[in-house]
């Protein structure tokens, strides 16, 4: 016969389990994820204390020694093993050594597309101890010049992106067949990629693949659900982070729409806060004592991350002013320092985090960041433009925001749509070209003499409610056309592709 205390203990354990499930449903998932992060952090700290820095290159070289004949890259049907990539990167390093143009610590800019030599050149330069600055190969003209001058490189390496015909762009129609062909198990995405896949005609056997995990950011809730329904039980790990940032989040529980989850332990190691933001003044709100204020759960707030020895902010190569502009001082107390992410997030009552919007002079479209001042500068070069105010507007069933420019024409001059189209497609990457134009008589300004964007963003591009002339970039006609009610309805219905 069992001792009398055993049934009581069993009942207590069951009760504790029930209470945990009811009040802390994500406790064990959070704990497992936190332990993984801590173990990684401890390893990094151990290496640091030992004077060792383990890089992606170090990891690759070890694996190349361990498994030289294992496929590392598969590109256009050709297989590159770990050994192949290691040897090719060594040859790249030797070329630079022979020319004696680089030394350890020099910055080298890379302007290359999706090709194996991107990896070869990156690893080769890293083996020489060089700092590699990756440039977006979509940018051009003044934007490209700005990127190059900002990182102050010793050398610029350009891809071979003239006589080569390469399949280097995403293909929604061939995506799953490629996954099956190469037995892909993990894919990386941006939100638009998932939407493109869901927009494809339904085919038989769409769940017949080996993809188990998708990692990326920017997928909408409705697309997320449809993706899972159509393509099977793929775990989607939405994340948040930036190359220069000192904080990141990962949705390790699969909660639809969330970029991750926080808890007491996470904030203990990665301190961050969501603070109130003044959209009119384009700056954080400070109280009468000069301190910033935290938002309540359910409210959108500016994400800031504390700069500490454990969570440092290294800044931007060759650009001290931009580095300083990303830092907030004296936030909650004297002497504290925070990294300003420029992103608005919302934290719900279960401590899940959701991306809300970007602040300032950028927005995202087609998975790319669009700098409004860059677009404004390009448009303002036209002799009939007095001023251009660029911002992003929401389009139903599209991720991010589409570019729109509010224009003020010079006195006694008219809008030349043909010249406008030629200007933007010549000097801007395709994702940065404004899809909509709005001609106003005067430019509205804020109390601090900045261009007023918020009312314009709210008004969008609806010709039924906006009395100003509106125009639409019709890519099929390669021209700006009048945005009529009929064209507007076709955009909303998806009959016109953006």
Which residue ranges form the domains of the chain, and what is each CATH number? 56-158 (3.40.50.980), 362-493 (3.30.300.30)
pLDDT confidence of residue 222: 82
Query: Taking the CB of residue 40, how many other CB atoms lie within 10 A of it?
Result: 10
- 238 Cβ contact list (under 8 Å, min separation 6): 216, 217, 219, 250, 251, 258, 259, 260
| Strands ordered across the beta sheet of 155-158 | 131-134, 107-111, 155-158
Ramachandran class of 57: left when φ > 0, alpha when ψ lies in -120 to 50, beta otherwise:
alpha
pLDDT confidence of residue 296: 93
How much is the pTM? 0.60
According to DSSP, the residues that pair with 476 across neighbouring strands are none
pLDDT confidence of residue 166: 31
Largest CA distance in the chain: 102
According to DSSP, the residues that pair with 289 across neighbouring strands are none
Query: Taking the CB of residue 153, how many other CB atoms lie within 10 A of it?
Result: 22
CA 418 to centroid of chain Cα atoms:
33
| Euclidean distance between the first and the last CA atom of the chain, given in angstroms as a whole number | 75
> How far, CA to CA in Å, does 332 sit from each of 171, 270, 279, 282, 470?
48, 16, 20, 19, 45
pLDDT confidence of residue 486: 93
Radius of gyration, CA atoms only, the chain: 26
Rounded Cα distance between 367 and 189, Å, is 9
pLDDT confidence of residue 141: 66
Rounded Cα distance between 352 and 366, Å, is 25
pLDDT confidence of residue 8: 64
Rounded Cα distance between 472 and 403, Å, is 11
> Do the Cβ atoms of 430 and 475 come closer than 8 Å?
no
pLDDT confidence of residue 9: 65
Per DSSP, the three-state class of 299 is coil
pLDDT confidence of residue 2: 57
Q: Where are the alpha helices (DSSP H) in 280-389?
A: 320-325, 372-380
Q: Where are the alpha helices (DSSP H) in 336-453?
A: 372-380, 417-427
Rounded Cα distance between 465 and 395, Å, is 16
Structure tokens at 202: 């339904």
For the chain, list residues with pLDDT below 70.
Answer: 1-11, 140-141, 160-168, 317-319, 444-452
Task: At 138, give phi and psi (nearest 5°).
Answer: -80, -25
| Proportion of the chain in helix, strand, coil states, percent, rounded to 5 | 35, 25, 40
């Amino acid at each position: 016969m069992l001792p009398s205390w055993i049934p009581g203990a069993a009942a207590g354990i069951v009760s504790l389990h029930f209470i945990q499930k009811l009040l802390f449903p994500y406790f064990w998932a959070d704990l497992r994820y936190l332990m993984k992060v801590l173990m990684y952090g401890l390893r990094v700290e151990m290496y640091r204390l030992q004077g060792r820095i383990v890089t992606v290159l170090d990891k690759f070289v070890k694996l190349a020694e361990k498994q030289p004949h294992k496929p590392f890259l598969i590109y256009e049907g050709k297989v590159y093993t770990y050994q192949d990539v290691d040897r090719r990167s060594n040859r790249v390093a030797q070329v630079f050594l022979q020319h004696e143009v680089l030394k350890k610590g020099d910055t080298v800019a890379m302007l290359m597309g999706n090709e194996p030599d991107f990896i070869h050149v990156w690893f080769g330069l890293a083996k020489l101890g060089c700092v590699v600055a990756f440039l977006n190969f979509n940018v051009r003209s003044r934007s490209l010049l700005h990127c190059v001058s900002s990182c102050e490189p010793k050398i610029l390496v350009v891809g071979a992106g003239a006589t080569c015909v390469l399949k280097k762009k995403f293909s929604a129609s061939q995506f799953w067949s490629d996954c099956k062909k190469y037995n892909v198990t993990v894919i990386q995405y941006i939100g638009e990629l998932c939407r493109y896949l869901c927009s494809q005609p339904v085919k038989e056997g769409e769940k017949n693949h080996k993809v188990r995990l998708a990692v990326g950011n920017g997928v909408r809730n409705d697309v997320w659900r449809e993706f899972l329904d159509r393509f099977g039980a793929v775990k989607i790990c939405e994340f948040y982070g930036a190359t220069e940032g000192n904080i990141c989040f990962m949705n390790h529980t699969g909660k639809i729409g969330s970029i991750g989850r926080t808890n007491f332990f996470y904030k203990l190691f990665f301190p961050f806060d969501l603070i109130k933001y003044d959209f009119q003044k384009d700056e954080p709100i400070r109280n009468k004592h000069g301190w910033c204020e935290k938002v309540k759960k359910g409210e959108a707030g500016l994400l800031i991350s504390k700069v500490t020895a454990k969570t440092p902010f290294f800044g931007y190569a060759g650009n001290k002013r931009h580095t300083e502009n990303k830092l907030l001082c004296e936030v909650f107390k004297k002497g504290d320092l925070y990294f300003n992410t420029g992103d608005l997030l919302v934290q719900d009552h279960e401590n899940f985090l959701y991306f809300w919007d970007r602040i300032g002079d950028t927005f995202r479209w087609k998975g790319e960041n669009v700098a409004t001042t860059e677009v404004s500068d390009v448009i303002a070069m036209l002799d009939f433009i007095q001023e251009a105010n660029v911002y992003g507007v929401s389009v139903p069933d599209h991720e991010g925001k589409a570019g729109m420019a509010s224009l003020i024409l010079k006195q006694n001059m008219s809008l030349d749509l043909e010249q406008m189209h030629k200007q933007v497609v010549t000097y801007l990457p395709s994702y940065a070209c404004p899809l909509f134009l709005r001609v106003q008589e005067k430019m509205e300004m804020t109390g601090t003499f900045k261009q007023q964007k918020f009312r314009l963003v709210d008004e969008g591009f609806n010709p039924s409610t906006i009395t100003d002339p509106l125009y639409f970039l019709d890519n099929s006609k390669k021209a700006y056309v009048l945005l009529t009610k009929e064209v507007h309805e076709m955009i909303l219905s998806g009959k016109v592709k953006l």
